[in-house]
Every structure is written in structure tokens, then in C-alpha cells.
Structure 1
Amino acid sequence: MPETAGGARRLRSQPRRSDGQRARNGAPAGSGAPGRETPLYGALDLGTNNCRLLIARPARDGFRVVDSFSRIVRLGEGLSRTGRLDDAAMHRAYEALALCGERLIRRGVDPDRLMAVATQACRQADNGPAFIERVRAGTGLRLRVIDPVEEARLSVEGCLNLFDPAAEAVLVVDVGGGSTELSWLRRSASGFVSEGWMSAPIGVVTLAERHPEPADTGPAAHAAWYEAMVADMAAALTAAPVDPAIRRLFAAGRAHLVGTSGAITSLAGIHLGLERYQRNLVDGLWMTRADCEAAAERLKALGPHGRAAESCIGPDRADLVLAGAAIMAAVQRAWPSERVRVADRGLREGLLLRRMREDRPSPRRRRRRRGGGGQPPAT
């Protein structure tokens, strides 16, 4: 592999090879493992606050995660004030992306099976395109800036199997660093169908920058600060383009929320009293509105240093976690629901599922292979 100036190897696209063609080690091209294992796929999400990577292998029930990476980079730090990506923020994001590239190379992921996207920070920043090009030239990663519509759809796809099939409507809330995507769905005979969506230009980074935590740590000062953040998000939600009939389903208790982001997983970790974050306990957890409110109250009482000491939050998120809680509180007040399902999944999972579905042979093609005496492809 060619080297960059900093010594990191660059991803380089290879000529497409058929799934049946073998690499030198006898494994299917790009699988990184012997036998008839299916090839590996990668999904990379560069957001306003985080850089996240998943590497997975298709399975009959979806996919099996082989490797993952997550780092807080705060790419959008100061963006709401300047309209540009800060040099230090770009450096942090670039370093994290270079590490992602190394993992992809080490695992043998074919660049043609990598879906790499960037969201709000790169959409909004004047120098976003220049940063995307810098990443491509230096690491070989080709980030695609997606619009809010696709971002919302991918988050929904990643969470579909967490929907309560008995619910008549669901609201998926994806709280990011620079924006919050909301998707309303109604149950139909063929499954849940979209009823509307919106992208509110408020995320945990933008909200925390607008409302710095007060030096006065008294309960009254903290309550006023928190409620100001809730009101900011509530104002954005008034533009929700949804049929009033959907709101009535929520008011009648026939709908529920799905929260997908660190905003809700942090509340879940606090609610469960985890000494360390455990995805298997958090992902899919049902919380009540009262559970969320109680977790937010505990976070307020802890103060900045106490939040930083919490293993489910840490120093990198201590100043952002209450902004996330305020966003969730505003949504829960606007769309009353006693239940919210916690999703430690979303956009990356949606990317993987979409691409694996595209690559899966059609039923007709599988029947032809069986009829010809060949083995069906692994799924």
C-alpha cells in the first residue's frame, strides 16, 4: 500500500473481483478469513461530534459485527459562530479517519464495499468540500456528504427491528452534534411507512455552544439553564410537517419513540447505573418518560466534574450530555409518549443493511444457481 506523508497507508480501490474468486490465502476476496465466509463491509460516519466505523459480515438475520471504532472529534466545534471547520477540529477528525483507514486495510475490506459518509458539519461548513478532498488525498477515504433526507432514512433503516409491531405510529429521533433528524412512521398492512420527517438545525454541540453551563451550580440556575435549552429545541419542533392524526395517536398512547444517539444511550446508562457502558444492556432497552427525566435530574445534580467521572459519559461528553437530554425532553413534551426505545444503532447500520441488500442475489438468481447444481451464496 502507498504511504502518506504521515506514514499512514491509503485505501486504494482494486479491480472488482467476483465473490467466487479467491485471494492468495484461499479466502473470498475481501473477507480476511478462510473458507466460504462472506466478504466484509464497512460503514463510516463522520458526524459533527463523532467519527464512527463498523466493519461487518452479512448474516441471515442481518450482519455480524467484526470490528468497530468510535472517537469524539468535535468536527463542528465553533462552526455555528464562524461558518467554517476549525483547524484543530479538522486535525482531530483527520487523525480519527486515518485510524479508520488502517482498520479497513488490516481487515481487508474492499474499498468498493465501504460506505463512507459525512453529515451536518461538512454540509454546513464553507470549507467542508476542501476538507473532504484533503481526506481523500491523504487517506484514500472517499467521504460522500449526504443530505438530511438520506440521513434520516438511514437512521430509520438501522432501527426498524426495534419498532413495537403493535404500535400504530413511531417517531425516530436521531440527535447529532449539529442537527436532529426526526422521522414519523405509521403502521400499515405492509409495515411501517413514512408520514413525514424534518431536520432541526440543533444538535448537542450547537445547543451547548448557544447555552454554556452557568458558573452558578445552584439548583435554580441549573434548572433555568436546562429549560432554556429545552425551549430552544421546542421552538424548532413547531415546524414539524406531520398530519395532526399522528399526534393524536401519540396522545392516545398508541405510539412510541425510538432514540438513536449518544443522547439517549447516555440517559440509559445513567438510568441503569452502569459502572461501564454495556451495549448489550442498552440497545433495545425500553425507558419511560419518567425514567428519562430522572436520569436528566441526576446528571444536573452531578455537575460537570461528576458527569466527567461517570464511565458512561466521560470527560469528552460531560459538557454535551445535558444538551442531548434537553433535546430528548423537548421531543417528549411535543410528542407525548410514555415509552422510548433506546437504540445503540442507526446510520451506520442503515448503510450496511442497504448495501448488503443491494449485493444480495435476487431469489430468481438463487433458484438458477440451485437448479444448475451449484451452491447457493452465503447470506
Structure 2
Amino acid sequence: MVDETETWAGQRATGRLPRDERSSSDAALARDDKSPDRTRQRHWHGRRRDGARADNGGGGSPRNNDPCYAALDLGTNNCRLLVARPTASGFRVIDAFSRIVRLGEGLICSGKLGDAAMTRAVDALAVCAAKIGARNIADSRLIATEACRSATNGADFINRVAEQTGLKLEIVDRETEARLAAAGCTPLVDPYSDGAVLFDIGGGSTEVVWLDRVETRDGGPPAAIIRAWVSVPLGVVTVAERHGGVKVTRADFEAMVNEFSPHLDGFVKAVGPHDCGRLHLLGTSGTVTTIAGVHLDLPRYDRSQVDGTWLGAEQVRVVVDRLLDMPFSERAANPCIGIERADLVLAGCAILEAVRRAFPCDRLRVADRGLREGILVELMRADGVWRRHAGVTT
């Protein structure tokens, strides 16, 4: 397989703010985040861990025709949509959709999207189109990632989607994918650490980002500062198809880890000398949310209990060992895994293990958020919605 890993290192912020909304030095502000003053306001968006909704910023219930924003992510495995309205300091999700479509099924062997996979994806996108069409959308961004990027018929599929659903999808590059994941997860970076190693394990690719955060002056969520990133053309679908996902021995698991690990070498060098005790891992994917759900022994998956959860290194190891010892039938019956992901979860765990060996941090924070939330933050920030709430003037 051709190594298409992409790595970048430097010092620039993603989602750059207008000059009046940032200090003269984003890096200086990022360092200020480590100050001992713990009375500083914490920004948050989405659903609180206690299940409560965010304040709507204006009091009372928003009208059904109030402007809202839409974010769609068509990946190698999932088709996911969020529709949200801005709040005083974040946003409130008012509609969502998620369906496993396995668009990248067989892609690693054929180099193209299969007919059945494309039909499944179009069917799911038609549902998304109906949901978007039912709302007063102020702005939207609809993206497709690794499967459409790498397939020889990816552009043809995008045209088919437009013809059959009316949705105009944008195939984004890996840098954009990494940036959007960072924008969506930045609120979960511990501001008193030296940053986080964010990883987004997708179906066909995995992005790993050395991430910091900077508080903004517009009243919205903190902005992301990317120090380095790598995009690896391996995800849960591609790894599982290469090594198997139904019956996975510990030797199979190590083979998966060993295939992925070399792709991180350039990224580790880009990060340079670091103290893993001052960093933490931040994971956004079905793999880490599954691990959190299994660790918590949830009777059914509950985002409000998973998003933002902290896990210790030993807790992660125990869950991975537990999953390795489970037969396929038990994985499929687990309410936090299910039949649709039972053959993919160990491939994801192997990718996670490769990241953990490269960055043996003591703590992992789990994010049930990512690309779609990043899209929403960028759209809303570009429209100045939080500046208007905060009464900020240029």
C-alpha cells in the first residue's frame, strides 16, 4: 500500500478570529490558560453531561422558524447530521441524524465505491436532505471525507448525490478534516495542561492533532491552536478489512497496532520533546465512546454520561482487554457496541493502542463530538453570532 500519511508541524491557530477578537499573540493567550486563576469562565457547547440543554441565550423557547445551522459529515462508515441554533455561548442541537452506511466497504481492494454502499449512503442522505429542508437554515456545510477522497469514482458519487437528493457535498482534504475535529473538541482540552493529543479514528482515515486552546473575546467556545497534525490513511473499516474483525486474536491485534504505529513516527518527531504527564489524550470517535460506555457498564449508550468523561490509562487497558476476550456474539449484544460495529471495534482499539504507545499519557478524555460540531462552530463564528449575543462591536 502506498503510504499517503500527511504530517504538518508549526504554530498556527485554526479558525482564526478577526483581529479585534483575539490578542496580539494567540500563543501568549494559550499560555495564559495555564494560570492558577480557576475562576475564569469555562465555555461549553452541546448537551451538558447532566442531560440538560444549554441556555438558549434569549430566554423562552426559540421559534421554529428561527435561523439555524446544519453540519453534515459523510464518512467511510457513518452518515451524520446536526442542525443547531446559536445560544449565548454555544449552540443547541435541535435535530440530528446518524446512520452507519459503510460507504467505504470494499474500497481498499477495488479502489472505488461499490454500488450497494453508494445506495445505502444516498438513502441516508435523502433523510438528511428532508431534515435540512424542514428548517430555516442560515448556513450549512456538508462534507465528505476519506472514502470519497480516495475512491476513483468519488466525484461521480458526489454528482449522483446532488442529482438524487439536492445536497451539494464538498470533498474536504485531510488538513480541513483535522481542523474541523479540533474546532469541535477544543472545549474539552484541559486548560491547565500543556495541551492535548487529539485523535479522530474514522472509518478510512485517522487524524492525530497536537492541540491547544485559546479563549475568545466573542463569548463563544474557545478556539483551537494546532501545533502539529498527521492524517493516516487507515481507519476502522480499512484495518478490519485487512486483518479481520469477527475473530480477533491477540496476535491479530498486535499486527493491527504494528501496521499503524509507523505512521505516527513523523508526528512524534514534529511534536518534539514533551512531557506526557503534562499532556492528555482527547479521543473523538465511536471507538473511544464505546470504551467509555463499556467502562461505565451503561445499559444503553447515553451521550450525556460519555461526552467529557475522563479515563485513566489503566481503565482504558482493562476495557480493551475485556473487548479482546469477548466473542463476537457478546460484542454484538453489548448495548454500547451493537451488531453494526461489533466487527470494527477492535480495529479501533488497535489504532488507539498505537496512539497510546506513541503518547503514554495518564489521562484520556472522551469526546462525543467532532467534525460536525467543528463545522457549526466555524459557521456561527464566521457569522458573528456570539459577538452579537455579547454585544461586541468592531
Give the TM-score band, short-chain normalised. Answer: 0.7 to 0.9
* Structure 2 CA distance for partners of 1:244 and 1:179, relative to 1, 3 Å: closer
Q: How does 1:50-199 map to 2 (within 5 A)?
A: 50-106=78-134, 108-110=135-137, 113-186=139-212, 193-199=225-231
- 8 Å Cα contact 1:115/1:351 also seen in 2: yes
Correspondences of 1:19-30 after superposition (within 5 Å): none
Greater Cα radius of gyration, structure 1 or 2: 1
Match among 179, 191, 202 for residue 234 of structure 2: 202
CA drift of 1:285 comes to 0.2
Structure 1's 232 and 101: CA in aligned 2 closer, same or farther, altered over 3 A?
A: same
2:264 aligned residue: 237
User: For the residues of structure 2 that align with 1:365 and 1:277, how far apart are their CA atoms?
Assistant: 34
Q: Give matches, 1:354-365, under 5 Å.
A: 354-360=378-384
Deviation at 1:169, TM superposition (A): 2.5
Alignment RMSD, CA only?
Answer: 2.4
Tell me the equivalent position of 2:360: 336
- Secondary structure at the aligned position of 2:266 is classed as coil
Q: Which amino acid aligns with 1:74?
A: R
Measured against aligned partners, the alpha-carbon deviations of 1:157-200 in whole angstroms (never above 9, x if no partner) come to 00111010111121110000000001113578998632111101
1:268 corresponds in structure 2 to 292
Question: Which TM-score applies when normalising by structure 2?
Answer: 0.78
Distance 1:76 1:324, change over 3 A: same
| Contact map agreement 2:70 2:83 (CA 8 A) in 1 | yes
Q: CA deviation at 1:227?
A: 1.0
The amino acid across from 1:307 in the alignment is: R
Structure 1 residues 334, 364: closer, same or farther in 2, change over 3 A?
A: closer
Provide closer, same or farther for how the CA distance between residues 309 and 141 of structure 1 changes in structure 2, counting only shifts above 3 A: same
Q: 1:224 to 1:161 in 2, by over 3 A?
A: same
- CA-to-partner distance for each residue in 1:80-101, whole Å, 9 max, x for gaps? 1111001110011010000111
Q: Find the counterpart in structure 2 of residue 375 from structure 1.
A: none
Count, aligned residues: 327
| CA shift for structure 1 position 104 | 1.5
CA distance in 2, matches of 1:327, 1:279: 22
AA aligned to 1:229 is M
* Conservation of the 8 A alpha-carbon contact between 1:174 and 1:182: yes
What whole-Å deviation, never above 9, does each CA across 1:115-146 have from its counterpart, x for those lacking one? 10000000000000000000001111010010
CA contact (8 A) 2:184 2:370 kept: yes
* Aligned sequence identity (%): 49
- 2:72 pairs, out of 44, 67, 75, with 44
Matches of 1:53 and 1:262 in 2, distance apart? 15
Note the alpha carbon deviations across 1:269-312, whole angstroms, 9 max, x for none.
Answer: 11110110000000000011111111111111111111000111
Is 1:257 aligned to residue 284 of structure 2? no
> Is 1:291 the equivalent of 2:323?
no
Partner SS for 2:267: coil
CA offset at residue 38 of structure 1?
4.1
Change (3 A) 1:137 1:194: same
Q: Which has the higher contact order (CA 8 A, sep 6+)?
A: 2
Name the residue aligned to 1:312: 336
2:345 maps to 1:321:
yes
Alignment partner, residue 326 of structure 2: 302
Write the deviation string for residues 14-34 of structure 1: whole angstroms up to 9, x where unpaired.
xxxxxxxxxxxxxxxxxxx97
- Please say if residues 119 and 145 of structure 1, whose CA atoms lie closer than 8 Å, have aligned partners that are also in contact: yes
